[in-house]
Structure 1
Amino acid sequence: METNILRRIFFDENNHWDRFVEKYGTRIRPIVVKEVEKFRNCGNPKNGFKHLVCEGCHDIRIVPYRCKRRFCTTCSSGETEEWSRMMAEDVMQVNHRHVIFTIDEGLRVIFQKHRHLLKPLMDEAVRIVQEWFKKKCQLTPGVIAGLHTFGSRMNFNPHVHMLVTMGGMKKDGEWKSYDYIPFPLLRKQGQTVVLSSFEAT
């Protein structure tokens, strides 16, 4: 029995994905179809595999090639864990805050039609945080940002996740801790950035 729940939802005997494509195919972006098809064929030995033989006990293992795509729950989880491990080693061992920069539900359709605005939106979210630290504390904070285009309900919901250091570097390179982020102020600045971005459309 298939243990991957998402694979069962898409490709079980009810053929949910194929029926969905048949009904809404003209409205599905080609990249989405491509990613799902890669996911469908991930781990299929027909697409190639490694043949491993133990020199001691002569045990034979066949290891199918994986798709290594972000949509695939098997492949992406390993990459996510590796990324998290690398980040944990690279970031400064100081307190951090999780900051989420999101967009009003009524405006998301504009970003869905003009997806080229998403990367600048992430850049602006980082800029807002960095500029506040520089203006208020004369510090340069550390920020790791990631853009998510879908929410937990698989609906289009572009938002930026940021891991922000609670403090930053002074001009002389000395570290200074700071334990406050003015979320209401940054929220207002974020709203201004979102509305200003529409001028480019």
Structure 2
Amino acid sequence: METITKGRFTLKQIFMDNWERFASSNRSQITFSAAYNVWKVMNCREPGGLGYATYACPEHPDQVTHVPRTCKSRFCSVCAKIQVDKWVADMNRLFPNCPYFHITFTVPSQ
């Protein structure tokens, strides 16, 4: 077993390092949906995996930008964060734009 003491771990990196070994020993227990979501996470933002969009200015054809595609999976730590942030922003629009308190009253059953 390899021990790593420094660096930042991501779900994607953990899968990249261990998925093949795990999948080969547990193949009968892995559903298609689970394997597909792991594949999407491992290929998220990888130009060779999910591809990329190319943007170029017609007036400056030498200025080209490549933007890698995302998997948009709730399972992905990067894409799920984007979805959560969008949900929080949507919920914040429902609340009044003023100071308020949330109070809960419990009424006895008697």
User: Is 2:9 aligned against 1:7?
Assistant: no
Query: C-alpha offsets along residues 18-60 of structure 1, whole Å, 9 cap, x if unaligned?
Result: 1111122222333211111111111222332111124469432
Q: Which letter maps to 1:37? A: W
Task: Give the fraction of aligned pairs with identical amino acids, expressed as a percent.
Answer: 28
The answer to which structure has the higher helix fraction is 1
Whole-angstrom distance in 1 between the partners of 2:54 and 2:27 = 38
Which residues of structure 1 form unaligned runs of 5+? 97-165, 167-178, 186-201
Q: 1:31 to 1:18 in 2, by over 3 A?
A: same
User: Is 2:55 aligned against 1:52?
Assistant: yes
SS class of match (1:45): coil
The answer to which structure has the higher strand fraction is 1
Q: Which letter maps to 2:77? A: T
User: Is 2:30 aligned against 1:28?
Assistant: yes
RMSD value, Cα: 2.7
What is the number of equivalent residue pairs in this alignment?
Answer: 97
Which residues of structure 2 form unaligned runs of 5+? 1-7
**Offset of 1:181 from its aligned partner?**
4.4
> TM-score, normalised to structure 2's length?
0.70
Q: Which structure's relative contact order is higher, taking Cα pairs within 8 Å and 6+ residues apart? A: 2
> TM-score, normalised to structure 1's length?
0.41
Equivalent position of 1:95 in the other structure:
101
Q: 1:95 to 1:30 in 2, by over 3 A?
A: farther
Whole-angstrom distance in 2 between the partners of 1:181 and 1:58 = 66
Whole-angstrom distance in 2 between the partners of 1:70 and 1:91 = 25
Q: Give the alignment of 1:36-185 within 5 angstroms.
A: 36-46=38-48, 47-54=50-57, 55=59, 58-91=62-95, 94-96=100-102, 166=103, 179-181=104-106
